[in-house]
């Protein structure tokens, strides 16, 4: 009888420890961990940029010329891959937004956020050489300085997708490891959206 009751008692004890541990984790710890991760990423990116600046000169001479067919391929292929990515990212957003249950789920809202950012970057990458100024002698270029800058800005803003993945990973830690429920996640979730979007637009 003692051997049969022991595993149940042990399981109850482990569950008690886990529940008390998860309930004792303050929200401040979560915010601090999020800021630390993004600050570390910023430091790493800045260090890499400095290292590249030391190794490579500020301007590299163009010594390679491309044939017309190669230029056409480099201009057309991003259109295919970019708009394909745009289509399927939009499909994910549509799947989440049309379902009321998924709209109420923090997980699905994070996935939808990632997909929206991917839609933006995929669209501008899919435009390929079109936004480049028409007088630049680049194949299929029909844009202006304004459209070129817009493409550069929104393409660079796509880095928010990477930080959205950090938010999704943090969500997994809170739900799977610490056992947070949806009501408690609601107090943290806005920051899981605000930080990636602010980073991308900054």
pLDDT tens per residue, range 115-152:
999 999 999 999 999 999 999 989 999 999 999 999 99
Torsion of CA 129, 92, 167, 25, to 10 degrees: 170
Q: What is the DSSP letter of 56?
A: S
Closest CA to 121 of 78, 155, 93, 159: 155
The C-alpha atoms of residue 199 and residue 56 are separated, in whole angstroms, by 27
3-class DSSP state of 32: helix
Q: Is the pTM of this model over 0.75?
A: no
Beta bridge partners of 143: 133
Please spell the DSSP secondary structure of 81-149, one letter per residue: HHHHHHHHHHHHHHHHHT-HHHHT-HHHHHHHHHHHHHHHHHHHHHTTTTTSBGGG--TT--B-HHHHH
Q: Is the pLDDT of residue 96 over 90?
A: yes
pLDDT tens per residue, range 63-93:
458 899 999 999 999 999 999 999 999 999 9
Is the Cβ–Cβ distance between 126 and 79 less than 8 Å?
yes
Measured over the CA atoms of residue 89, residue 93, residue 98 and residue 101, the dihedral's sign is: positive
Q: Is the pLDDT of residue 167 over 80?
A: yes
Give the mean pLDDT of 176-188: 91
The C-alpha atoms of residue 22 and residue 180 are separated, in whole angstroms, by 7
């Amino acid at each position: 009888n003692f051997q049969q009751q022991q595993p149940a008692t042990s399981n109850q004890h482990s569950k008690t420890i886990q529940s008390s541990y998860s309930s004792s984790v303050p929200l401040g710890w979560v915010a601090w961990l999020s800021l630390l991760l993004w600050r570390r990423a910023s430091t790493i990116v800045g260090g890499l940029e400095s290292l590249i600046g030391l190794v490579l000169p500020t301007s590299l001479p163009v010594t390679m010329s491309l044939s017309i067919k190669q230029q056409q391929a480099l201009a057309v292929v991003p259109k295919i891959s970019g708009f394909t990515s745009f289509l399927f990212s939009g499909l994910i957003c549509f799947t989440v937004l049309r379902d009321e249950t998924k709209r109420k789920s923090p997980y699905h809202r994070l996935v939808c956020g990632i997909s929206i950012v991917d839609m933006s970057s995929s669209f501008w990458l899919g435009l390929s050489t079109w936004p480049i100024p028409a007088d630049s002698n680049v194949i299929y270029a029909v844009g202006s300085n304004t459209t070129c800058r817009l493409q550069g800005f929104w393409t660079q803003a796509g880095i928010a997708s990477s930080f959205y993945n950090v938010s999704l990973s943090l969500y997994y830690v809170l739900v799977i490891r610490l056992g947070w429920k949806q009501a408690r996640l609601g107090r943290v979730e806005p920051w899981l959206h605000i930080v990636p979007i602010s980073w991308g637009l900054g």
